Structure 1
Amino acid sequence: MNILKKNLFTLLLLSLWVSSSQAAMRELPAPNTVSPEMQKLTEAAPLPFWNLHPKDHAEWKSFVQSVAEATATELPGLREQMEVTVTPGSIAGVPVFTVTPRKIRPENSERILLHLHGGGYVLNPGETGTYEAILMAGMGGFKVLSVDYRMAPDFPYPAAMDDAVAVYRELLKTVPAEKIGVFGTSTGGGMTLALGLRAKAEGLPLPAALAPGTPWTDLTQTGDSYFVNEGVDNILVSYDGWLGEAAKVYANGHDMKDPMLSPIYGDVSGFPPTLLTTGTRDLFLSNTIRMHLKLRQAGIDADLIVFEGMSHAHYLMDPNAPETRFHFTELKKFFNQHLQ
């Protein structure tokens, strides 16, 4: 009888967990105001690992490896389609990848874009972090330097930012700040903004322009869209999945409202022109619009692109989607306007 009760209790808990996981996704009609390519992304099932809660170092490493293996299979075809080459190297002791388009526009010959990849400070190690850099180099015609920064759980805060700043500091020795732009998506967007804060704090010249895409500007669960878009965004889905776990494992006990972790709480006065991107279904919609307003209130030349119907970072997920082409064309125009 005790065994029966135990089994029934286990089944009840399992059913509640399944029900809560399913309930997290809210069924909405696919918007007919987006391209067919984007509509397919909007209609897709949520990422299967969104509600993962790694319990130890081994589970984190297994999670990271499985995502990396899936991404790695897409890179050869993407490099060929974008007509770029990717060369590994090292700057200031930090691994980097130089992404070079087959054709560099004459005005970009002395310019360079510094790329900080996304992945919650845990995902996309090594060359798997170059996906966005390949798109930018191919569609924008810029040479892109992608930083393979250290990540949690092996290297928690401030390792990622230390690596990004070390590469930027070294880059300044050969390239004037006026010819450097910085960009990245999600975590990479948050790091792009934090790099501006670190540069100010350390007396370094700021880059000529910043382009944070759907940036993780607040590692705490603060902001309307963390709740309004919960179960609507089919990429991140909810802060209460792996995302919140990643915030904790990277912060490693530090105050998550430290501006170097959550740049929304930093002093952005004196920042360079900034272009931010998000979508109406993005869990990080509030992260992005709060940052945009903060920059505008500080008198910074800041623009905002909000894509219809788009979940978190959908503009990276189909290189053939018109929205993807539009995003990187806008970034190209933005950097062409502000880099000398």
Structure 2
Amino acid sequence: MSNPGLTELITYLRSNPPKSPLPADMRAWFAALTQATPVPSDARLERSACDVPAFWITPPGVDTSRVILYLHGGAYILGSPETHLEMVFRLAKCAGARALSVDYRLAPEHAWPACREDAVAAYRWLLGQGVAPSHIAIAGDSAGGGLTLSTLLALRDAELPMPSCAALFSPWVDFTSSGDSAKTNGSGDPMVDPRGMAMMVGAILQGKDPEKSSPLFAEVGGLPPLFVQVGTAEVLLDDSRRLVDKVKAAGGEAVLDAWEHMIHGFQAFPTYLPEATSATERAGEFVRARLF
């Protein structure tokens, strides 16, 4: 399919590689990539009083009693609320809610599951502030999508009240890279190189078992409705497909929203892709309908 914007985006991504695989260089590279889309003048981070570092993002006119707990992507090693401000602002605006974007601890300085502990603490804090579970959604992209699923499982196992729903953008839920798309889509996805995933997993898990740490292989009964969005050209496509199939087989509700020819993280680049805006709107509508 001819898509000039997608071609231009792929060229941009491939022509701006990181300087080295060192965390500091990778983080600088990732932060620079996210500057491809300007942040709206009314989008800002407001530090919260949460027990873990987290920032409010409040689009004008939204219902501030409704909250999206957002977990940013970046392979558990990169990213921050700042790198994801534009995308989270856009999602929150579409959902008619404000967002609490968690600045969770990153690997390799903090091994898994430190990030999950921070996400669970942020959710507990929201409950302690009197926010009703039915007024909370959890969302995240890439590693943040995997962290969203892991957080839901931890909340369920702790017998905490569950949020109304969750939105997962291209979630990384399998640390073993056992999906077929890790092989078939390896050359077409400029954001995820399957050859480097084992090294990243080592930095994240630091000796923990990849299969046991992967939320894809957990029991997935008892979860709230999931909206799982992915591009068909992604290395992580089969993470999404298998997750949705597994949740449905367990009797849960899960929607697979697959976008033809789209690459990993496409939702973050509306400057290049009108599909990025449309995809985020679709996710926002799912969340808005369930934040009752």
Provide the TM-score with structure 1 as the length reference. Answer: 0.80
From 286, 306, 326, give the equivalent of 2:238: 286
What is the aligned partner in structure 1 of residue 50 from structure 2?
A: 91
Question: Structure 1 segments of 4 or more deviating over 3 A?
Answer: 42-45, 47-52, 71-75, 138-141
Deviation at 1:101, TM superposition (A): 0.5
The answer to whether residue 273 in structure 2 is matched with residue 321 in structure 1 is yes
The answer to whether residue 194 in structure 2 is matched with residue 239 in structure 1 is yes
> SS state of the match for residue 230, structure 2?
strand
What is the aligned partner in structure 2 of residue 254 from structure 1?
A: 208
What is the alpha-carbon distance in structure 2 between the residues aligned to residue 333 and residue 73 of structure 1?
26
> SS state of the match for residue 91, structure 1?
coil
Between the two proteins, what is the percent identity of the paired residues?
A: 30
Q: Deviations over 1:69-108 (max 9, x none)?
A: x157567x3132xx3332123411x11111010221xxx3
Q: Which AA in structure 2 matches 1:325?
A: T
The answer to whether residue 142 in structure 2 is matched with residue 186 in structure 1 is yes
What is the alpha-carbon distance in structure 2 between the residues aligned to residue 122 and residue 222 of structure 1?
21
Deviation at 1:44, TM superposition (A): 4.6
What is the aligned partner in structure 2 of residue 128 from structure 1?
A: 83
From 111, 126, 146, give the equivalent of 2:101: 146
Q: Which AA in structure 1 matches 2:208?
A: H
What is the alpha-carbon distance in structure 2 between the residues aligned to residue 102 and residue 84 of structure 1?
9
What is the aligned partner in structure 2 of residue 15 from structure 1?
A: none
What is the aligned partner in structure 1 of residue 14 from structure 2?
A: 46
Q: Deviations over 1:92-139 (max 9, x none)?
A: 1x11111010221xxx34211010000001101352243431221244
Q: Deviations over 1:178-217 (max 9, x none)?
A: 1100111100100111111000111111111011111001
Indicate conservation of the 8 Å contact 1:275/1:304, yes or no: yes
What is the aligned partner in structure 2 of residue 27 from structure 1?
A: none
What is the aligned partner in structure 2 of residue 312 from structure 1?
A: 264
The answer to whether residue 154 in structure 2 is matched with residue 201 in structure 1 is no
What is the alpha-carbon distance in structure 2 between the residues aligned to residue 153 and residue 186 of structure 1?
17
Q: Deviations over 1:127-171 (max 9, x none)?
A: 224343122124443201100000011111111001000000111
What is the alpha-carbon distance in structure 1 between the residues aligned to residue 35 and residue 241 of structure 2?
34
Deviation at 1:267, TM superposition (A): 1.1
Provide the TM-score with structure 2 as the length reference. Answer: 0.92
Q: Which runs of 5+ in 1 are unaligned?
A: 1-30
Indicate conservation of the 8 Å contact 2:50/2:122, yes or no: yes
Indicate conservation of the 8 Å contact 2:107/2:204, yes or no: yes
The answer to whether residue 39 in structure 2 is matched with residue 78 in structure 1 is yes
> SS state of the match for residue 328, structure 1?
helix
> SS state of the match for residue 190, structure 2?
coil
What is the aligned partner in structure 1 of residue 58 from structure 2?
A: 100
Deviation at 1:240, TM superposition (A): 1.2
The answer to whether residue 28 in structure 2 is matched with residue 65 in structure 1 is yes
Q: Which AA in structure 1 matches 2:266?
A: H
Range 153-162 or range 328-337, more displaced = 328-337
Deviation at 1:37, TM superposition (A): 2.8
Q: Which AA in structure 1 matches 2:216?
A: I
What is the aligned partner in structure 2 of residue 24 from structure 1?
A: none
Which structure has the bigger radius of gyration? 1
Deviation at 1:220, TM superposition (A): 1.1
Indicate conservation of the 8 Å contact 1:38/1:323, yes or no: no
Deviation at 1:45, TM superposition (A): 5.2
What is the alpha-carbon distance in structure 1 between the residues aligned to residue 258 and residue 19 of structure 2?
26
Deviation at 1:318, TM superposition (A): 2.1
What is the number of equivalent residue pairs in this alignment?
Answer: 291
The answer to whether residue 9 in structure 2 is matched with residue 37 in structure 1 is no
What is the alpha-carbon distance in structure 2 between the residues aligned to residue 201 and residue 73 of structure 1?
38
Judged with a 3 Å threshold, the aligned counterparts in structure 2 of structure 1 residues 139 and 40 are, in CA distance, closer, same or farther, namely farther
Indicate conservation of the 8 Å contact 1:129/1:148, yes or no: no
Q: Which AA in structure 2 matches 1:100?
A: T
Judged with a 3 Å threshold, the aligned counterparts in structure 2 of structure 1 residues 286 and 325 are, in CA distance, closer, same or farther, namely same
Q: Deviations over 1:226-281 (max 9, x none)?
A: 00001111211x2212x3322110101000112xx311111111111111011111
Judged with a 3 Å threshold, the aligned counterparts in structure 2 of structure 1 residues 313 and 73 are, in CA distance, closer, same or farther, namely closer
Q: Which runs of 5+ in 2 are unaligned?
A: none
What is the alpha-carbon distance in structure 2 between the residues aligned to residue 186 and residue 45 of structure 1?
17
From 103, 111, 117, give the equivalent of 1:162: 117
The answer to whether residue 71 in structure 2 is matched with residue 116 in structure 1 is yes
Indicate conservation of the 8 Å contact 1:183/1:212, yes or no: yes
What is the alpha-carbon distance in structure 1 between the residues aligned to residue 225 and residue 242 of structure 2?
16
> SS state of the match for residue 333, structure 1?
helix
Q: Which AA in structure 2 matches 1:256?
A: P
Judged with a 3 Å threshold, the aligned counterparts in structure 2 of structure 1 residues 126 and 333 are, in CA distance, closer, same or farther, namely closer
